[in-house]
Structure 1
Amino acid sequence: MSVTRAQFVAEARTWLGTPFMHQGRLRGVGCDCIGLVIGTAQALGLTDFDITDYGRRPDGRVRPTMETQLDWTAPAEAQAGDVLLFAWAASPIHVAIMTDESHMIHAYLPNRAVVESIMDERMRLQIVAAYHVPGVE
């Protein structure tokens, strides 16, 4: 099965306003940043993969897990529907779905919800990798 980038972004937008909940996976009820990506892909029939064995503190597993499930792409080449990996204090710990060249959707703890945000220069400097979701064309 495959979906367009626009369909992937549209599905992610249906999660806007979902409260932040560590390891949550339910649209409208609660999710975290990884849950948003997994939930969006599952809603579109792209995967049945999930991970739930991660803690609130970075432990080095986020990036290797991303690389086993998604296809790496250069951050400068990322497009709408691709997944961005951010490092806070040098630890890869946060992911977001790119919606266009200057916006992203993410379950962001400071906002306590899934939000669509502008990728300002500060955020762009924290991108350490980008990934293409298999099945999104």
Structure 2
Amino acid sequence: MTPADNGRVIVAARAWLGTPYHDQASLKGVGCDCLGLARGVWREVVGPEPFPIPAYSRDWGETGPREVLAEGARRMMIEVPPSEAGPGALVLFRMKPRAIAKHVGILTGPATFLHAYERLGVIEEPLTNAWRRRIAFAFLFPQR
């Protein structure tokens, strides 16, 4: 698999800025959650979604034996070590120690990222150390 152009990923992601937060939605300008944002960027950069996304819980503290989100990303994206993830990479955050990775963002610069956050919608903000240390997995979007 060849990675998509990172600049194209960032432009597609920034087009979602200001989209209100809506759990399990994925409509630019209407509503999305963090995974819905990633799904929308996928549709623009790569094409149709390869499989339907099953319903999922909003519990960031969820624990379990499987990293379901990372497993799904591995089926269709290019995994890279989080330390090597740069602008345009999709990152999965582990929001609580020992919890599974349940939050998604897209790096837009060496120290910024874009994500959908409850009550705030899609925002771009600094990738602070508090956010950076929560990155558990990183993936590149493939070319169309």
TM (norm. structure 1) is 0.89
In the TM superposition, residue 86 of structure 1 has moved relative to its aligned partner by 0.5
C-alpha root-mean-square deviation of aligned residues, in Å?
A: 2.0
**CA–CA distance in 2 between the matches of 1:133 and 1:27?**
19
Q: Which deviates the most, 127-136 or 117-126?
A: 127-136
In the TM superposition, residue 47 of structure 1 has moved relative to its aligned partner by 3.9
Q: Which has the higher strand share?
A: 1
- Aligned partner of residue 102 in structure 2, secondary structure: strand
- Aligned partner of residue 94 in structure 2, secondary structure: strand
**CA–CA distance in 2 between the matches of 1:52 and 1:23?**
10
Stretches of 4+ moved more than 4 A in 1? none
In the TM superposition, residue 67 of structure 1 has moved relative to its aligned partner by 1.8
TM (norm. structure 2) is 0.85
2:45 touches 2:143 (CA, 8 Å); kept in 1?
no
The one-letter code matched in structure 2 to 1:116 is E
2:80 touches 2:139 (CA, 8 Å); kept in 1?
yes
**CA–CA distance in 1 between the matches of 2:23 and 2:54?**
10
Structure 1 unpaired stretches of 5+: none
- Report the equivalent of 2:55: 53
1:129 equivalent among 131, 134, 137: 137
Structure 2 unpaired stretches of 5+: none
